Structure 1
Amino acid sequence: MLRPFLRAKIHRAQVTRSELHYVGSITVDAELLAAADMLPLEEVEVYNITRGTRFSTYCIPGKPGSGEIGINGAAAHLAHVGDLVIICAYCFLDREELPHHRARVVLVDEGNRVGQVLLKTPFDEPA
């Protein structure tokens, strides 16, 4: 049986742009996408820490090193400039794949740049 597991996460990024009249998606600094191993057009879930909202969309790469986190299209109603968000991608795994699974967690600094990359497993001890 396949079950959904966290594959990648960009943690506590700050929204730098929110543009309602744009063809949907979330624009993410290409360096953050690379650190998280997220690909352009990959589906992601976005959790807004500031407002408590959440939505699904897909990634498009922003200028490398820009720190850009842009909320585009209808999702702009759910996240505004200055909001803190978590961006997650998931994968489906069966039990046999779990010992080899490592989720990438990218902690960002105040400028939306890579601060630290953690590798998490389903077997990690609780924090």
Structure 2
Amino acid sequence: MFRILLKSKIHRAMCTMADVEYEGSIEIPSDLMDAAGIIGGEKVLVTSATAGGRLETYAQPGEPGTGKIIMNGGAAHVIKAGERITIMAFALSQEPVEAKKIVCNDKNEIIRKGK
């Protein structure tokens, strides 16, 4: 039996910008994507601890080291700048998956890595 399991998590990140005019996706600095094991174009679930919004989109690599996490397109109506978010990616597997997890501070710097 295949199961859908958490494989990547960026926890307590800060949405720094929301751009309704962009065609879609969430832009995440590539250093954070690498640390969490998320690749460009990968489907992600984004949740807001601030307002409770949830949405699915795809990850787009942004400039590393900037800390800029940008909600683009219609998703910018659901999750806005200044909201505390969690970004998750999942895998279809028959075996247990050890998720790569990172925790960020207000500047989207990694403060902890874990499993």
- Long gaps (5+) in structure 2: none
Return 5+ residue gaps in structure 1 as ranges. 120-127
Secondary structure at the counterpart of residue 66 of structure 2: coil
Given residue 75 of structure 1, which amino acid in structure 2 is its aligned partner?
A
Question: What pairs up with 1:9-20 in 2 under 5 angstroms?
Answer: 9-20=9-20
Higher RCO (C-alpha 8 Å, min separation 6): 2
Paired with 1:104 and 1:115, the residues of 2 have a C-alpha distance of 14
Q: Percent identity?
A: 36
Residue identity in the other structure for 1:61: P
* 1:1-127 map, 5 Å: 1-94=1-94, 97-98=95-96, 101-119=97-115
Could you tell me how far apart the structure 2 residues matched to 1:68 and 1:40 are? Answer: 16
| Deviation digits for residues 32-63 of structure 1 (CA, Å, limit 9, x no counterpart) | 00100100000000001111110000001111
Where does structure 1 differ by over 2 angstroms across 4 or more consecutive aligned residues?
Answer: none
Equivalent pairs, count: 115
- Which structure: greater helix fraction? 1
Structure label with greater radius of gyration: 1
Distance 1:117 1:104 in 2: 8
Tell me, in whole angstroms, the C-alpha distance in 1 between the residues paired with 2:46 and 2:105: 18
TM-score normalised over the length of structure 2: 0.97
Partners in 2 of 1:51 and 1:116 — Cα distance?
Answer: 24
Structure 1 CA distance for aligned equivalents of residues 72 and 3 of structure 2: 30
